[in-house]
Structure 1
Amino acid sequence: MNSPISAARSQSTSRTVAMALTEALVARTLRAVEDAGPTPGMVYMTDADYARFSDEILADAPAGPLKLFAYGSLLWKPAGEVRGGERAVATGWHRSFCFTVQRFRGTIEQPGLMMALDRGGQCQGMVFEIAEPVADNLEALRRREMTILPAVNVPRWLRVRTEGGMCRALGFVVDPANARYVGRLDKPAIAATLARAAGHWGSGAQYLFETIRHLDACGIRDRNLWQLQALVAEEINRVHATA
């Protein structure tokens, strides 16, 4: 599968500003973590649950090709085949490290933080077309983004603005009523977690680094993430200086 970014590189700006968070610093946060499997006490989604969400998504789908709004890891790891790619803005939502994980990029002993769209502000991202067979690619997407009930990261048809006008695209937004939602943490608290947490998928610092790198390839600069990466770099230098 080709990375969706390869289709969007022509939209990238020519600026070259180095991140304080480097690959060398990210490497300090990476460690071998065995997948401990399902987290005790969590209710994992079944095939019937995925089918129900699929029916709900498709029942409200707009006419024509289905589109996906990518703002984080879906830029480089789309979980299913997508094509095309154009910049878009979702108004009323912003990227936020706003829910905890005890697996994937965290552990029970050191939970991590993951991004979702939270209410307020606006978010620049990319819109891609979900390729055929749509049902199979939607299935892969749902299973990557949703694992536990009640779901903290829920699918929603968003109105997004592109150069060609408004359209509706599938995005994943946080449910603030979910117990794993942590609200709007301050940047030092987020940085402290991202500099330390890691799971079998990698570390929180790596997740932040890859998100910024792929956004930048699309010509998108997220001011909050750039401020955050500088804090994470400082925290890694402090915590892992003697590692």
Structure 2
Amino acid sequence: MWNPGFEFLERSQALVRGYRRSLCVHSWVHRGTEQNPGLVLGLDRGGSCRGMAFRIAPDQWDETIDYLRERELVTNVYLERCLPLQLADGRTSKAIAYVVDRKHMQYAGGLDAIAAAHVVHAAKGKSGPNDAYVFNTLAHLQEMGIRDHWLEQVVGEVERLRNGG
């Protein structure tokens, strides 16, 4: 959300209903290993999610979608969907989003904050420690003025584990 990797005309906070941000995907490479998988974020069913929406220039659409598909569909743990959303100014729109495939072997949904924190605390992958990814994500959300109570609970629990709790 803070570094989308593509050109855009406009960025706005947005709310998607029916999906929530969740550490619901096992990471076997970047934030963990197959023997000790980490967790990365995905959109999972239920609740709502506040995030960012990006408006793309029509002449950049195909290039942007190709880039997103290459980035998000590497292991096919995500499904591409067109979801309705509400922008911060009240306008409604539809957007391409990538939601977790609950049938995929990397799906790790259903963890509570304590269980997720134990996984995050113990995992490390090619791109570094899993907890650094989670802490960085929460910091960026806070910078954008987005609260994520569940992720805050996970971070609090990881901090407790770091301190020997």
Per-residue deviation, 1:88? 0.9
Pairing partner for 2:127 from 184, 201, 223: 201
> Following superposition, which runs of at least 4 residues in structure 1 exceed 4 angstroms of deviation?
none
Per-residue deviation, 1:108? 2.1
Pairing partner for 1:183 from 109, 116, 127: 109
Per-residue deviation, 1:231? 0.4
Pairing partner for 1:136 from 63, 70, 83: 63
Counterpart-to-counterpart distance in 2, 1:212 and 1:153: 21
What does the per-residue CA deviation read over 1:154-200, in whole Å, with 9 as the maximum and x for residues that have no partner? Answer: 11111001124210011110111112212211211110111121212
Per-residue deviation, 1:89? 0.5
Give 3-state SS (helix, strand or coil) of 2:159's partner: helix
* Residues 171 and 226 (structure 1), Cα distance of their counterparts in 2 relative to 1, 3 Å cut: same
**What residue is the counterpart of 1:69 in the other structure?**
none
Quick check: 1:152 aligned with 2:77?
Answer: yes
What does the per-residue CA deviation read over 1:69-108, in whole Å, with 9 as the maximum and x for residues that have no partner? Answer: xxxxxx1332323342111110111011112121111112
| Matches for 1:91-130 after TM superposition, within 5 Å | 91-130=17-56
Counterpart-to-counterpart distance in 2, 1:168 and 1:140: 19
**What residue is the counterpart of 1:214 in the other structure?**
140
Structure 1 counterpart of 2:68, one-letter code:
L
Counterpart-to-counterpart distance in 1, 2:3 and 2:29: 18
Counterpart-to-counterpart distance in 2, 1:196 and 1:187: 14
Is the strand fraction higher in 1 or 2? 2
Contact 1:104 1:199 in 2 (8 A): yes
Percent identity between matched residues is 36
Counterpart-to-counterpart distance in 1, 2:66 and 2:124: 26
Give 3-state SS (helix, strand or coil) of 1:133's partner: helix
Give 3-state SS (helix, strand or coil) of 1:90's partner: strand
Structure 2 counterpart of 1:141, one-letter code:
L
**What residue is the counterpart of 1:85 in the other structure?**
11
Contact 2:10 2:56 in 1 (8 A): no
Greater C-alpha Rg: 1
Contact 1:78 1:141 in 2 (8 A): no
Pairing partner for 2:86 from 157, 161, 165: 161
**What residue is the counterpart of 2:2 in the other structure?**
76
TM-score normalised by length of structure 2:
0.90
What does the per-residue CA deviation read over 1:1-28, in whole Å, with 9 as the maximum and x for residues that have no partner? Answer: xxxxxxxxxxxxxxxxxxxxxxxxxxxx
What does the per-residue CA deviation read over 1:24-68, in whole Å, with 9 as the maximum and x for residues that have no partner? Answer: xxxxxxxxxxxxxxxxxxxxxxxxxxxxxxxxxxxxxxxxxxxxx
Give 3-state SS (helix, strand or coil) of 1:238's partner: coil
